[in-house]
């Protein structure tokens, strides 16, 4: 979780969350707050997209649709809509 602050000196936890269409979604960091989400295409593991979620609820990430997304929900929708 590069750039994700640790909590009380503890390492950042990274976990597989779910499958969205052809994409495998992983999260480094807490469910709420500073976190980094990563989606890997299950058919081509070199296709990777990241979304950075900040503690204030804002975020940024390029989706597989080629657009920069500021909302996590929109970024996830681009994963579902782009095979």
Inter-residue contact 69 to 76 (CB < 8 Å): no
How confident is residue 10, by pLDDT bands cut at 50, 70 and 90? low
As a whole-number percent, the residues of the chain with pLDDT over 70 amount to: 87
Per-residue pLDDT tens over the stretch 13-41: 889 999 999 999 999 988 888 899 999 99
32 burial via Cβ count (<10 Å: 0-12, 13-18, 19+): exposed
Supply the pLDDT for residue 62.
98
Indicate if the pLDDT at residue 3 is higher than 70: no
Residue ranges of domains in the chain = 14-81
Per-residue pLDDT tens over the stretch 35-66: 999 999 999 999 999 999 999 999 999 999 99
Taken as a whole, the chain contains a residue count of 83
């Amino acid at each position: 979780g590069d750039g994700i602050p640790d909590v009380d000196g503890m390492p950042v936890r990274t976990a597989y969350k779910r499958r969205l269409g052809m994409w495998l979604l992983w999260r480094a960091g807490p469910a709420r707050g500073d976190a980094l989400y990563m989606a890997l295409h299950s058919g081509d593991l070199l296709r990777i997209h990241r979304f950075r979620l900040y503690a204030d609820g804002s975020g940024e990430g390029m989706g597989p649709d080629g657009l920069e997304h500021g909302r996590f929900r929109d970024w996830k929708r681009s994963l579902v809509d782009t095979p």
